Amino acid sequence: MNEQANLLESSTKNLWLPFTQMKDYESDPLIIESGEGIILKDISGKEYLDGYSSLWLNVHGHRKKELNEAIIEQLDLIAHSTLLGAANVPAIRLAEKLIEITPENLQRVFYSDSGATSVEIAIKMAYQYWQNKGKQKKKKFVTLTNNYHGDTIGAISIGNVDLFHRVYGSLMFPTIKAPFPLQYRSPYSGEAEVKERALTELRAIFQEHHEEIAAITLEPLIQGAGGMNIMPGGYLKGVEELCREFNILLIVDEVATGFGRTGKMFAIEHEGVQPDIMTVAKGITGGYLPLAATLATEEIYKEFYGEYQEMKTFFHGHSYTGNQLGCAVALANLKIYEKEKLVEQAAKKAEVIKSELAALKRLKHAGDIRQLGLMCGIELVQDKKTGKPFPWETRMGYHSTLEMRKRGMLTRPLGDVIVFMPPLASSDDQIRKMVQIMRDAIEAVT
């Protein structure tokens, strides 16, 4: 058996891939071996455009010289030492940088290793903040329909995706559910009414339960895994105002939206929102190494500060928290943002994507096309006029993305919503090519 055949067989025998039905994988295995710019290459030498930024995190393309060098330089010093009770140099420098680029009220950085863990930390931090403050009743979390914050038990508890609740419901803690201001298929007459209705419902929830509510969690401006749903303008600001009125913490999850994906460094900047807690991951290392951070205000931090005997310590921390290699590559990544004025560039790329996606609107089964910056979702439907979905078992999204793969582009669907989230480094030509592949594949499959 040659090396390639051996790898294919071994991948189906020994691996268990995340969020993957292995029976699907077995029927058409894919093994990536290398990458260059926004191109990924599999073990047979076939090339693919990275249409989903290797799951929403790659920024500058693969094998970016400066990032490779930052890791090698750090390796010559040390790869890892614990952050429990001991700081390290890159973790300090990165914390300074994160504080500089996020809203000015966020003054403390707590590291972890994935989006989900940064959210777990946000939950425990908000919860313990109120306990330490003597507000024992404030224990509940409010979440919006279809929120996704990761797949650990805490993160799926404050998430609101039906599927996870069906499967893991009895493991999760209960939350208060509020409606997401969904615009597609809304019975209301436009963006402003969708916003007002959702804020009115949220106000009623806050009014009734504010004494028990610790925090509300949301993905600012665009819900990612919940279907690429965009909030109406002003909704996020409205939530912030309600939080201040009712003394409820605002937790924003910028894991997917952060680092330029929406055309601003962080999505909250579109509406000048200042959260109490903010989570970041994915693009923080340019897509290189697992690193995440939860940022908090000084007001929150000080409720944890005191004599050990007061038992206010934040009891959380992972083995690889604040890893030196991760922090070093994140610093190098943020330097490139400055040097290449990447956020401005991203806003320009978004315009190119917008004009290219306009052609997809004509497709018979493209029900809705949603875009915020470089985050796009194309919702496939059976009937465009009514928005009637395809029967779920037809798996139109899945089959369309398989067809895209055959044609040289990788992405993953969210049900029948095709995700298009190219790296910030994609050229205009590459964007055009990817949109063309999506168009041809959707046409061929639906």
Instruction: Please give the annotated binding residues, written as ranges.
Output: 115-116, 148, 253, 282, 317-319, 412
Nearest distance in Å: CB 27, ligand PLP: 25
Task: Identify whether the C-beta of residue 349 lies closer than 8 Å to the C-beta of residue 424.
Answer: yes
Answer for which of 91, 126, 213, 225 binds ligand PLP (CB under 6 A) is: 225
Pick the closer one to ligand PLP by CB: 182 or 366: 182
Near ligand PLP by CB under 6 A, which window of 61-69, 165-173, 252-260, 334-342? 252-260
Cα–Cα distance, 89 to 173 (Å, whole number)? 38
By CB under 6 A, which span of 249-257, 299-307, 381-389, 432-440 interacts with ligand PLP? 249-257
Min separation Cβ 219 and ligand PLP, Å: 5
CB of 144 to ligand PLP, least distance (A): 12
For ligand PLP, give the closer residue by CB, 142 or 366: 142
Determine the interface stretch with ligand PLP among 36-44, 115-123, 127-135, 397-405 (rule: CB under 6 A).
115-123
Nearer to ligand PLP by Cβ, of 253 and 379: the residue is 253
Helices and strands (H, E) in the chain, number of each type: 15, 17
Q: Which residue has the tokens 């439907």?
A: 381
Question: Residue 259, interface with ligand PLP (CB under 6 A)?
Answer: no
Residues 6 or more apart whose Cβ sits within 8 Å of residue 115: 149, 150, 253, 255, 256, 279, 281, 282, 292
Tell me the torsion sign for CA atoms 181, 186, 191, 194: negative
Residue 119 found at the interface with ligand PLP (CB under 6 A): yes
374 touches ligand PLP (CB under 6 A): no
* Per-residue x/- track, 413-442, ligand PLP (CB under 6 A): ------------------------------
Contacts of 49 (CB under 8 A, 6+ apart): 38, 39, 40, 408, 409, 410, 422, 430, 433, 434, 437
Q: Is 148 in the site for ligand PLP (CB under 6 A)?
A: yes
Binding residues for substrate: 148, 282, 317, 412
Sequence-ordered list of residues with C-beta below 8 angstroms from that of 290, at least 6 positions apart, any chain:
113, 114, 320, 323, 326
CB of 266 within 8 A of CB of 106?
Answer: no
Exposed / middle / buried, residue 274 (Cβ in 10 Å: 0-12, 13-18, 19+) = middle
Name which position in 120, 253, 271, 356 contacts ligand PLP (CB under 6 A).
Answer: 253
Closest by CA position to 417, among listed 446, 393, 388, 381: 381
Instruction: Map the footprint of ligand PLP across residues 56-95, applying CB under 6 A.
Output: 56
Give the residue at shortest CB distance from ligand PLP.
115
Single out the segment in contact with ligand PLP by CB under 6 A; choices: 98-106, 138-146, 238-246, 251-259: 251-259
Instruction: Return the number of the residue (56 or 314) whose C-beta is nearest ligand PLP.
Output: 56
Distance CA 63, CA 377 (A): 27
Q: By C-beta, is 148 or 320 nearer to ligand PLP? A: 148
Our finding on whether 52 is near ligand PLP (CB under 6 A) is no
Tell me which stretch binds ligand PLP (CB under 6 A): 125-133, 148-156, 172-180, 416-424.
148-156
Stretch in the footprint of ligand PLP (CB under 6 A) among 60-68, 113-121, 234-242, 321-329 = 113-121
Give the integer Cα–Cα distance in Å for 376 and 239: 24
Of 103 and 159, which has the nearer Cβ to ligand PLP?
Answer: 159
Tell me the H-state helices in 172-222.
191-209
Distance (Å, whole) CA 257 – CA 265: 9
Copy the structure tokens of residue 192.
């402003």
Subset of residues 273 to 292 that bind ligand PLP, contact rule: CB under 6 A: 281
Is residue 271 at the binding interface for ligand PLP, with CB under 6 A as the rule? no
Order of strands across the sheet with 176-178?
Answer: 106-112, 292-297, 277-280, 249-253, 213-218, 140-144, 176-178
C-alpha closest to that of 30 among 375, 435, 412: 412
Residue 268 interacting with ligand PLP (CB under 6 A): no
Cβ-proximal residues to 282 (8 Å cutoff; 6+ apart), any chain:
55, 56, 57, 115, 255, 256, 258, 259
Task: Output the known binding site for pyridoxal 5'-phosphate.
Answer: 115-116, 253, 318-319
Alpha-carbon gap, residue 412 to 352, rounded angstroms: 22
| Helix (H) / strand (E) containing 2 | none
Give the nearest distance from C-beta 117 to ligand PLP in angstroms.
Answer: 7
What is the closest distance, in whole angstroms, from the C-beta atom of residue 267 to ligand PLP in the complex?
10
Q: Which residues bind ligand PLP (CB under 6 A)?
A: 56, 114-116, 119, 148-150, 219, 224-225, 253, 255-256, 281
